[in-house]
């Protein structure tokens, strides 16, 4: 036990030692550019949920009891609330439509865990975009490495519950210019504010799953506040929570900084489909086949998928979240609509009789043997028609991943299209950032939003 506790402390402090010495200009240009793209993509993902009924009811309730107006909730009304409520609101919105970015090496949406708190604090305090982005990038780096380092045998815990508070706390610690020692203490404190969120809730459609990242965002802010006044966890907190309580193994090699830092953001993925990323290779394969026939001609569909994808089985999804985590519904609605965009997963699709019939025609099997990374999320789709014709397509890894990246222009188009519906004016300042214009980095987030 003592050895592992010391490994956790030493390896985490090793990363913090590197990150706390960095200035924005010290970071490689491709890493800075990637951080900006992720920042903009996930901000647009927050706004994408502005039409979701259950979310809007939650936000109305939150606004009613909020504190002083200092930070924006991106809910199509530009409502300002206290920073803790804004972080909760935007964190809850961030994954609602399942178009946020993720981190491929392990189960972790590192950006989602850092961005809501950064947006809220940055606006309330008046930080520059440079200050916000370096804090965002450092928070991402730490939480991604911790998520890699704590290894679980099965996909039992959902990372929105177990890592969001840590990402938020870390990012805010950097934004507040805490010392290395205080950042370490804040991370330990935030570890005690995580919760054992079950992954199965996503598949079963428990909408509370969408709130977990928001709870983590506001808990991370509180962890930084508490640490600043001496109310903290201990140097054993990470061990006590993740190893003793949650049953993880700690692998120090996955957190230790390399001689030349291998930035976690460079292993991120961007989404083109509004559903769990484990299904994206299957959706790609289906959409490649689709132009050849009408869905009414389909007799049966056979899907071979990786072990994570095979967990996503739910023939009768009851909520839009369950729809996005049901491989049967994902393929059925993609075939029916000819796409897997946000509209293809709205509540009306749940009871659509034709989509239901397509769901029932799908059978799933394990893709065996499973290829090694980066091709470890493969899919093979076989569509059999009533006239005897058969179409087969294979996709080893979905577009948008680090080994099969989108071009920047495609990501920018996605961001623009998403913002167009509710926040069209927000694209211009984000575009200036994505073009790496110096004036955009010197601007404060508060002033940027006031000019919209």
Each residue's pLDDT tens digit, 38-57 = 999 999 999 999 989 999 99
Please say whether the dihedral angle defined by the alpha carbons of residues 294, 334, 340 and 60, taken in this order, is positive or negative.
positive
Neighbours of 81 (CB within 10 A): 24
Residue 398 has pLDDT above 80, yes or no: yes
**What band does 75 get if pLDDT is binned at 50, 70 and 90?**
confident
| Fold exhibited by the domain 277-395 | 60s Ribosomal Protein L30; Chain: A; (3.30.1330)
Average pLDDT over residues 307-312: 97
Judged against a pLDDT cut of 90, whether residue 77 lies above it is answered with no
CA separation, residue 245 to residues 3, 164, 196, 238, 253 (Å): 17, 17, 9, 10, 22
Instruction: Report whether 307 contacts 366 (CB < 8 A).
Output: yes
The answer to whether the predicted template modeling score (pTM) of the entire model surpasses 0.95 is yes
Confidence at 378, pLDDT banded by 50, 70, 90? very high
Q: pLDDT tens-digit profile of 180-193?
A: 999 999 999 999 99
Report residue 446's pLDDT band, with 50, 70 and 90 as the boundaries. very high
Q: Cα separation of 408 and 410, whole Å?
A: 5
The tally of CA atoms less than 13 A away on the side-chain side of residue 29 is 3
What percent of the chain shows pLDDT beyond 90? 96
Given a cut of 90, whether residue 76 has pLDDT beyond it is no
How far is residue 354's CA from residue 132's CA, in Å, rounded to a whole number? 47
CA distances 61 to 9, 55, 57, 58, Å, are: 40, 10, 6, 5
| Residue 32 confidence (pLDDT) | 98
CA distance linking residue 440 with residue 448, whole number of Å: 9
Mean pLDDT for 244-273 is 95
Which pLDDT value is given to residue 191? 98
* 101-105 average pLDDT score: 96
Average pLDDT over residues 87-94: 98
Kindly report, as residue ranges, where domains of CATH 1.10.4100.10 are found in the chain. 2-272+419-450
Residues of the chain with CATH 3.30.1330.120: 277-395
Our CA angle for 43, 46, 50, nearest 5°, is: 135
Q: How far apart are CA 123 and CA 446, in angstroms?
A: 4
127 neighbors 441 (Cβ within 8 angstroms): no
Burial of 157 (0-12, 13-18, 19+ CB in 10 A): buried
Specify the residue for token string 């030493």: 10
Return the CATH number of the domain spanning residue range 2-272+419-450.
1.10.4100.10
Cα–Cα distances (Å) from 43 to 37, 59, 93, 181, 239, in that order, read 10, 17, 10, 30, 33
Q: What is the mean pLDDT of residues 166-173?
A: 98
Q: Which pLDDT does position 452 carry in this prediction?
A: 85
Average pLDDT of the residues of the chain: 96
Confidence check: pLDDT of 143 > 90: yes
Spatial contact of 279 and 287, defined as CB atoms under 8 Å apart: no
What is the spatial distance between Cα 167 and Cα 142, in angstroms, rounded to a whole number?
7
Distances (CA, A) of 358 to 205, 323, 332, 371: 20, 13, 5, 29
What gap in Å lies between CA 65 and CA 160, rounded to an integer? 25
Residue 390 pLDDT more than 80? yes
* Burial category of 123 from C-beta neighbours within 10 Å (exposed 0-12, middle 13-18, buried 19 and up): buried
pLDDT band at 78 (very low <50, low <70, confident <90, very high): confident
Query: What's the DSSP call for residue 435?
Result: T
209 in Cβ contact with 160 (< 8 Å) = yes
- CB distance 290 to 370 below 8 Å: no
Euclidean distance between CA atoms 195 and 157, whole angstroms: 9
Sign of the CA dihedral with 366 first, then 371, 372, and 378 last? negative
Stretch 439-452: mean pLDDT, rounded?
A: 95
Q: Is the pLDDT of residue 417 over 80?
A: yes
Query: What would the mean pLDDT of 224-233 be, rounded to a whole number?
Result: 98
Cα–Cα distance, 297 to 390 (Å, whole number):
11
Does 90 have pLDDT greater than 80?
Answer: yes
């Amino acid at each position: 036990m003592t050895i592992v506790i010391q490994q956790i402390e030493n390896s985490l402090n090793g990363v913090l030692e590197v990150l706390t010495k960095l200035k924005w200009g010290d970071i490689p240009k491709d890493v800075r550019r990637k951080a900006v793209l992720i920042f903009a993509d996930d901000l647009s993902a927050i706004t994408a949920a502005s039409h979701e009924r259950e979310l809007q009811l939650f936000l109305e309730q939150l606004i009613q009891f909020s504190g002083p107006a200092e930070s924006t909730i991106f809910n199509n009304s530009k409502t300002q609330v206290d920073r803790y409520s804004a972080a909760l609101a935007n964190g809850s919105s961030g994954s609602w439509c399942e178009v946020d970015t993720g981190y491929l090496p392990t189960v972790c949406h590192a950006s989602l865990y850092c961005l809501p708190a950064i947006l809220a604090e940055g606006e309330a305090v008046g930080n520059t975009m440079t200050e916000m982005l370096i804090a965002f990038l450092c928070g991402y780096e730490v939480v991604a490495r911790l998520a890699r380092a704590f290894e679980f045998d099965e996909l039992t815990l959902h990372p929105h519950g177990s890592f969001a508070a840590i990402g938020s706390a870390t990012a805010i610690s950097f934004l507040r210019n805490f010392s290395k020692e205080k950042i370490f203490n804040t991370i330990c404190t935030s570890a005690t504010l995580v919760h054992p969120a079950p992954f199965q809730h996503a598949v079963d459609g428990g909408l509370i799953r969408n709130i977990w990242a928001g709870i983590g965002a506001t808990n991370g802010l509180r962890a930084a506040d508490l640490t600043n006044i001496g109310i903290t966890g201990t140097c054993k907190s990470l061990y006590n929570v993740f190893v003793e309580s949650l049953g993880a193994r700690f692998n120090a090699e996955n957190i230790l900084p390399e001689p030349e830092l291998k930035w976690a953001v460079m292993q991120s993925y961007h989404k083109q489909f509004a559903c769990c990323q484990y299904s994206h290779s299957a959706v790609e394969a289906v959409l490649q086949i689709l132009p050849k026939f009408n869905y009414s001609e389909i007799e049966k569909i056979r899907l071979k998928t990786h072990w994570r994808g095979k967990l996503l089985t739910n023939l009768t999804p009851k909520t839009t979240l369950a729809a996005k985590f049901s491989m049967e519904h994902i393929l059925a609605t993609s075939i029916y609509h000819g796409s897997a965009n946000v509209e293809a997963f709205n509540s009306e699709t749940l009871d659509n009789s034709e989509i239901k019939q397509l769901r029932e025609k799908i059978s799933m099997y394990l893709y065996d043997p499973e290829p090694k990374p980066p091709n470890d999320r493969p899919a093979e789709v076989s569509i059999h028609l009533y006239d005897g014709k058969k179409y087969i397509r294979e996709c080893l890894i979905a577009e948008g991943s680090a080994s099969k990246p989108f071009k920047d222009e495609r990501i920018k188009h996605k961001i623009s299209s998403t913002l167009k519906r509710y926040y069209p004016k927000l694209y211009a300042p984000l575009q200036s950032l994505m073009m790496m214009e110096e004036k955009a980095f010197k601007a404060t987030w508060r002033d940027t939003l006031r000019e919209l």
